[in-house]
């Protein structure tokens, strides 16, 4: 029964052919079902890997610059900060992780530096202040529109700990780069060998 449903030419190929012809028949059947899969060349992976390493390097550079900027700002506020009294305009509680309690507060305050009135957010506010209350703040001398609570500035200090995470990521980046270079070298030697 089965041999009647197979065309004579195909039956003859099946009975008389070797494995390569069978593979050819399988390939033609898979082509009938859809497009043949096309593999991605090793050059594409090399370029993609280089782009990923470049993005990682840029992110590392930004994190080091950010840590340096934060340390410089803390030092500037502690040594050259302008102490002013700010009047709270409004205070809104920020919900914590569970959403049931306030973890910090976003408070807007008005203050005057060098005859200019500012209405800005008070940084590092952890307790509620009623509108009209006075709070001691420190304004950044290079950017007077940035203020922090005086108590927070007094308790903070520039730290090398800010460089810990970028430093660990740098070690990981070096390991990835060495692995990438080894892979590229191996691919080149294979290509040159053929």
pLDDT digit string (tens) for 57-115?
999 999 999 999 989 988 999 999 999 999 999 988 777 666 566 667 888 999 999 89
Does residue 38 sit within a domain? no
Three-state secondary-structure class, residue 160:
helix
Q: What is the pLDDT of residue 188?
A: 84
40-44: long-range contacts at Cβ-Cβ below 8 A with a sequence spacing of 24 or more? 42/187
Left, alpha or beta for 17 (phi > 0: left; psi -120 to 50: alpha)? beta
Whether this prediction's pTM lies above 0.85 is answered by no
pLDDT digit string (tens) for 11-29?
555 555 555 545 455 555 5
Query: Which range of residues forms the domain containing residue 49?
Result: 43-66+161-193
Does residue 77 sit within a domain? no
Same domain, 62 and 99: no
pLDDT digit string (tens) for 121-174?
887 777 888 899 999 999 998 889 888 889 888 888 888 888 999 999 999 999
């Amino acid at each position: 029964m089965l041999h009647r449903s197979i065309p004579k030419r195909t039956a003859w190929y099946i009975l008389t052919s070797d494995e390569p012809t069978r593979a050819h028949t399988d390939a033609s059947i898979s082509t009938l079902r859809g497009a043949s899969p096309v593999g991605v060349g090793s050059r594409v992976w090399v370029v993609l890997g280089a782009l990923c390493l470049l993005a990682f390097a840029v992110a590392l550079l930004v994190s080091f610059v950010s840590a340096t900027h934060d340390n410089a700002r803390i030092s500037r506020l502690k040594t050259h900060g302008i102490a002013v009294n700010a009047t709270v305009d409004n205070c809104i509680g920020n919900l914590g992780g569970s959403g049931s309690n306030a973890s910090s507060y976003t408070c807007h305050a008005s203050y005057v530096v060098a005859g200019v009135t500012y209405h800005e957010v008070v940084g590092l506010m952890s307790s509620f202040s009623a509108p009209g209350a006075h709070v001691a703040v420190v304004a950044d001398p290079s950017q007077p529109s940035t203020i922090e609570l005086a108590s927070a500035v007094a308790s903070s200090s520039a730290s090398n700990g800010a460089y810990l995470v970028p430093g660990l990521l740098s070690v990981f980046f070096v390991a990835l780069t060495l692995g990438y270079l080894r892979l590229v070298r191996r691919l080149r030697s294979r290509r040159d060998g053929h």
